[in-house]
Structures are given as structure tokens and as C-alpha cells.
Amino acid sequence: MRTDKVLVTGGSGFIAGWCVLALLEAGYDVRTTVRRLDRATALRAQLHAATDFEDARLSVVQADLQSDDGWADAVAGCEYVLHVASPTLRSTPESEESMVSAARDGVLRVLRAARDAGVRRVVLTSAFGAIGYGYPRRPTPFTEADWSNVDAGIPPYQKSKTLAERAAWQFIEEQGNGLELAAVHPTAVLGPVLGPDDPPSLRTIRAMLEGALPACPPFATSWVDVRDVADLHLRAMTDPAAAGERWLASAGPSLRIVEVARILRSRLGDRAAQAPSRELPLPLARVLARFGGPLRALRPQLGQDFNATSAKAERLLGWRSRPIEDTIAETAESLLSHGIGQDSSTTAA
């Protein structure tokens, strides 16, 4: 049994939940934060359903990124912190300014508390959105050396992740007092759900299963399994090579959305019969995006190829990803098993 205790922020979230699970299975004692303690019971139940662990090894405490309250107690006695919590597309604040402020201020709150408590290393969950947005389409994959261009009118979420990470590195340089930082950058995250929650990153798969996506938006992106994202967090937490570095998590070359739909239909058969079989022409997609609807939120992605490589993590940390085709199928299987992704006629039957 390990003696190191790890704090995971935002434990009820999709990535954070899998990080907590991976830590428990690796033998760590875990403390995790939630914004509302009424989520603690459900979180414990989901984790116990996924793995065996002594209940005393997991503690759940209340802390909100928009308040100083609770953070000193949350980090007390912890060797490491995985700062996964951030404003998401599910709970978007009213404005871009408030979303950026919430993400940046939250990161700084956690870093200050970690520094003051003598934490060894913080692993920040950033995103591909802090790497590859605001640029013309290009033939080479994005790497950890790239930063999103916040002056190019990128969406609020991606802007918030970029500016929050910039602030984190500046804090470490100017005020860290020896605190180490590593940043993990997942591409589009898929994978099984731990409970009946509906993570925003799985909305595309859900829409395909429900028949709510008649044609695929024309763009490509790299994808990654949430379980592999959690594994990269643990490697970034302890490997000496990880400190002071950014780490992309990608399962391989980018896939177009229509290719994801084809994999679903091939692997799930009739259960994915409503997945679209065609891709919208780019000019039509851009016109439709001007008039609102689901495509409006995807305007920055249309026509793009968000291709990213994890060669650095593979070479220096020994990280490997599972085949993304398996992840796509397992994501859909998991959603369906929790009653997510079924249309009304299927549910009624």
C-alpha cells in the first residue's frame, strides 16, 4: 500500500472520476473535491461498482474553484494534486469573460494552496483546445510546442483553457517556490461512463445513437480513451521527466466525424443504425452554421483537421493508447447500458 495521498479536483467529472479510479487501483489514498457534497454518495457508489477498495481510502470534500473556502484543507497532507476541475461546456458561465476568469482563477487558487501545503507536484488537466485552435488547416500534427491563438476569435472554452494554463506556468515560474507542474492535453475524449451521467465530450456519440445527427459536420480531430488519459495523469504525476512539461494525449491520427459513425455502425450493427452515413459539404455546413442550431457551436471546427501526436509521451513516459476503434465501440456500449443514447421509440419499447 502506498502512503502518498493524492488530491483530485472535481471528482464527479468524467476525466476526474477515471483518475480517482486509476489512483485507487494503483494503491494511493485519494481525496477528491466536489462543488456539492450531495454528489459524494453517488460518486462513491460508482467507484465501488468499478473496483474494490477500502472505503476509508477515499475522502470527498467540498471546494469550489470560484471561492477560497476549503482549498487549504483539501490539499493538506497531499503529496500530489491532479487539478482536473474546470468550467465545462455543460456549465458554461454567462460570458466568455466569466468562463476565462473562472478557469484562470481556479487554477491559481489550487496552485497557491498546493504550494503553501508543500505539495510536490501538480498535474494540470489542460486540453487540446490550448494547443491547436486559431490556426489555418495545416498538414503536420500539432505538438506540445504549439499554443492556441487566443487573438483569433477561438471559442470561450478553448480560450479559457489556454489562458488558465498560461497563468499556471507563469505562477510556477514567479511564485511556485519549488512546486512542480506538468500539464496533460487530451484530444477529444471518449470512453465508458462510470454512471448514468452524460459527459459533454460524449455528445457526438450520443447524437449518433439517437439519430439526432442526420449528417456529420465536416472536420477531423484526434481522439483518446479516458482511461488512457487517466494513465497519462499518473505518469505525469510521478515520472521525473514529466515535471515542467506539457503532454498531449492522442490515440493516433485524426478521424473525421463520419469515420467515427462508420465505426459505430460496423461494430454495433442495428444498435447504431441511426448513425449518419454521409458528411455535410463544407460550404453548406458553413452556411447552415450562420443560422444557429448545433452547427453554430462548431463553426471554428468546420473544415479543420485537429491532428495531434503523442510521440513525446510515448517516447519519454512509456505511455501507450488503446485502439480508438475499440474505444468508440465501448463508449457506445457504455452509454446504451446506462440508457443514454436511445431514441424515444427504443426506450418506450
Kindly state the DSSP code that residue 8 receives in the 8-state scheme. E
Which fold is adopted by the domain 5-191+222-252+309-321? Rossmann fold (3.40.50)
Q: What angle do CA 269, 273, 274 make, to 5 degrees?
A: 150
d(CA 10, CA 32): 7
What's residue 88's pLDDT? Answer: 64
To the nearest 10°, report the CA torsion of 62, 340, 21, 29.
20
User: pLDDT tens-digit profile of 273-330?
Assistant: 999 999 999 999 999 999 877 788 888 899 999 999 999 999 999 999 999 999 999 9
CA–chain centroid gap for 307, Å, is 17
Domain spans of the chain? 5-191+222-252+309-321
d(CA 267, CA 264): 5
What's residue 346's pLDDT? Answer: 43
What is the average per-residue pLDDT within 174-195?
Answer: 97
Residue 133 predicted with pLDDT over 70: yes
Give the helix/strand (H/E) hosting 121.
Answer: strand 121-125
What is the average per-residue pLDDT within 328-349?
Answer: 76
What is the average per-residue pLDDT within 119-139?
Answer: 95
Query: Which among 18, 92, 33 has a CA at the least distance from the CA of 63?
Result: 33
User: pLDDT tens-digit profile of 5-56?
Assistant: 999 999 999 999 999 999 999 999 999 999 999 989 999 999 999 999 999 9
What's residue 261's pLDDT? Answer: 98
Residues classed as catalytic: 161
User: Quick one: what percent of the chain has pLDDT higher than 90?
Assistant: 83
b/e map 172-211, b = 16+ CB within 10 Å: beeebeebbbbbbbbbbbbbbbbeebebebbebbbbbbbb
What is the average per-residue pLDDT within 121-125?
Answer: 98
